[in-house]
Amino acid sequence: MRKLENKVAVVTGGAMGNGLGICRVFLKYGAKLIILDYSDELEGSIGILNEEFPDADILGYKVDIRNKDIVKEAIDNAYNAFGKIDVLVNNAGVCRLETFQEMTDEIRDFHFDINIKGSWNVTKAVLPYLKNNDKSSIVNLSSVTGPMVADSGEVAYATTKAALLGFSKALAVELVSDNIRSNAILPGYILTPMVENMSKLSDPENPTAVIDGIAQAIPMKRLGTIEELGELAAFLASDESSYITGHEFVIDGGSTLPETMTMGV
């Protein structure tokens, strides 16, 4: 039996990037999917997933997770379709680089409203259904940025990702009596559209050189894949991690290990 067989999972931001990798791996292990995403890529991504997994059960809702009423309506409809929800993956997130001095309140609130409040809204909507089960799992996508490291221009993003780690830990304590586990994933550099866009902003003439430069600073000398992140999410969503809650799991190819980039023998 596959480790997510008969489990129903909600994945936010599942149309592209890390979310798409999570969806692909969840389907591989037998999960039924409810994808929430505001991107126009949603329909096309579901089509691709259906081609890869012809027997898959996938529902997609184009939802702005900042709107708690629309989120609740989508989750209620999905629950009525599948009859249960076992797993929530709060993956949807945004990142716009700007120095603290130059950052507008609008850009700050864009990060806070999606990365923090959006995850809050979806969790609120899904939680009553998670409590119906003998065991359920919440997986929150934080980042190494914020809890562990940061670069210039990342103040809003880092703040929200650190907040998500606290959110995940607090939920773990509060929900343990309901047999709901809550854990966080802290990705380093994964090759996603977000990373590609940031590379284009850094060097519009040669964004590939930016990605190559990032890779050289990682001990494994490469960026991670969305499927590798999906495998970690699937482990935390499955019963294989049944005695794990309230923890953070770094997946970064060792990028946060070096004490410096120049010292060494």
The answer to whether 188 touches 218, Cβ cutoff 8 Å, is yes
Q: What is the pLDDT of residues 107-121, one digit of tens each?
A: 999 999 999 999 999
The bridge status of strand 87-90 relative to strand 58-62 is unpaired
Residue 186 DSSP SS3: strand
Cβ count near 184 (within 10 Å): 27
Q: What is the pLDDT of residue 150?
A: 96
Q: What is the mean pLDDT of each run of 10 residues along the chain (265 residues)?
A: 95 97 98 98 98 97 98 98 98 96 98 98 98 98 98 97 98 98 98 78 76 93 97 98 98 92 56
Q: How far apart are CA 243 and CA 248, in angstroms?
A: 14
pLDDT for residue 201: 66
Active-site positions? 157
Q: How far is CA 73 from CA 23, 87, 122, in A?
A: 21, 18, 11
- What residue ranges do the domains of the chain occupy? 8-190+225-251
CA distance 156 to 73: 29
Q: What is the pLDDT of residue 38?
A: 97
CA–CA distance, 185 with 86 (Å, rounded to integer): 18
3-class DSSP state of 257: coil
Confidence (pLDDT) at 44: 98
Q: How many CA atoms are closer than 13 Å to the CA of 134, on its beta-carbon side?
A: 3
Q: From CA 85, how far away is CA 10, in angstroms rounded?
A: 7
pLDDT score recorded for residue 196: 77
pLDDT value of position 1: 79
Check if the beta carbon of residue 135 is closer than 8 Å to that of residue 179: yes
CATH-assigned architecture of domain 8-190+225-251:
3-Layer(aba) Sandwich (3.40)
Are the CB atoms for 32 and 78 separated by under 8 Å? no
Rounded alpha-carbon distances, angstroms, from residue 70 to 18, 88, 174: 23, 17, 26
Instruction: Give yes or no for a contact between 125 and 72, defined as CB atoms under 8 angstroms apart.
Output: yes
The predicted structure's pLDDT at residue 177? 98
pLDDT given at position 194: 75
**Helices marked H in the chain:** 17-28, 42-52, 68-82, 105-111, 119-130, 155-175, 193-202, 207-216, 226-237
pLDDT at 203: 67
Full-model pTM: 0.94
pLDDT at 253: 98
Output the pLDDT for position 261.
Answer: 64
Q: Are 44 and 67 in contact (CB under 8 A)?
A: no
pLDDT at 225: 97
